[in-house]
Amino acid sequence: MTSMDRELMERYIYQVVRRLPREQRREVSLELQELISDMADVAGSMEEALEKLGNPAEFAKKYQDDTHHLIGPEYYDTYLWFLKIVLLCTLIPIVAVSVIEGIRDGLAGYEASYAGAAVPVAIHILANTIGNCIVSCVGAFGGVTLVFAVMERQKVKLDIRKEKEWSVNDLGGEDSGGKGRWTPEALTPVPHKKAIIKRSDSIVSIVFIVIFCVLLIFAPQFFSAVFSEDGSVVTVPVFNLQQWGIILPLIVASLLIGLADEILRLVVGCYCRLVMFSNIICGGLQILLAVLLLKVFPFWNPAFWGEVGVRLGEQMEGAADLLRYWNGALVSDIILAVICVATLAEIVTTIYKTLRYGEDH
């Protein structure tokens, strides 16, 4: 077997097993190696053997469950794995927020006797936690399922659109009939090692996006400076909570755009033109939303710097003078610069790896 024949065989096997559940892939891969090698020996060439097997997308269906499904085997393993991450990242901050808020709200009515507040506060925390967890998990489950279901349906539509109904002309070698017929030349190369997108990178981004989004939606007041004053705790919110109804949708939109891009990278698994265009579009939209949030809308609490300066001035000499030069506009400029540099760096990296190592290369 020549190196070209082996390359064609590996391409064919890759296109078949990538559409199967993970636990089937190794066994099917070994089976196909033996089958294709035997067929190539009998047929006399690798091309003829692969043409007899036909389109790998159709051949993979022999190993798939033909029952109707919302999310097929090609995406199912990734769907379950991704759903677990999202639910876990949703539950952890929700439970933490619910417990802290439950303790704070529950003890508010029992200042005279904290001992008698244990049972009512525990019930309040439990009810609050269960309610918030159900709402957030149902929303997360529905959102993830919808995204993968759309991917599944869109994939089917694209396959149907690309395929041509068989006709008598397909028996000949003319271009008019051969366009709809699968040939080994249609096989795409196995992705280069440097073109593969690490799952760990997507995990870190997804975890950060989900946790940050949950905290911003359910507990924006947690992003505050905390001080002790006369035996009580005083918080100074960083964000402009009075305008939160206007600001929050823009933040969530930016995070969801980033999440959609990470889901695509996770599902595709390697750099290609689809990933590159998605990264460019999503990155551009996120920069635009960051400019709107930090430079147009009242994002920061206008009283934050003054209140923090006063309280720090009482506890730390020189802190108030330092904060006079540290204001919302300066922080916005710094954060916006970091966002722009990080986003553009990621876009440039994606473009380079796509053009250099991507499977469209």
pLDDT in tens, 211-245: 888 888 878 888 888 777 766 667 888 899 899 98
347 and 235 in one domain? yes
210 and 296 in one domain? yes
338 and 230 in one domain? yes
Please list the ranges in the chain whose pLDDT falls under 50: 112, 156-179, 361
164 and 199 in one domain? no
226 and 140 in one domain? no
Q: What pLDDT is recorded for position 111?
A: 52
231 and 142 in one domain? no
The pLDDT tens digits for 87-97 are: 888 888 788 77
- 360 located within any domain: yes
133 and 225 in one domain? no
Structural domains counted in the chain: 2
Q: Which of 169, 204, 222 is the last residue of a domain?
A: 169
335 and 197 in one domain? yes
Q: What pLDDT is recorded for position 105?
A: 64
312 and 222 in one domain? yes
Q: Residue 112 is part of which domain span?
A: 81-169
Q: What pLDDT is recorded for position 179?
A: 46
Alpha helix positions (H), 163-184: 175-178
347 and 213 in one domain? yes
Q: What pLDDT is recorded for position 361?
A: 46
- 226 located within any domain: yes
Q: What pLDDT is recorded for position 161?
A: 41
235 and 114 in one domain? no
361 and 213 in one domain? yes
- 33 located within any domain: no
Q: What pLDDT is recorded for position 19?
A: 79
What residues have CB less than 8 Å from 19, skipping those under 6 apart? 56, 57, 60, 64, 73, 74
Q: What pLDDT is recorded for position 177?
A: 40
- 71 located within any domain: no
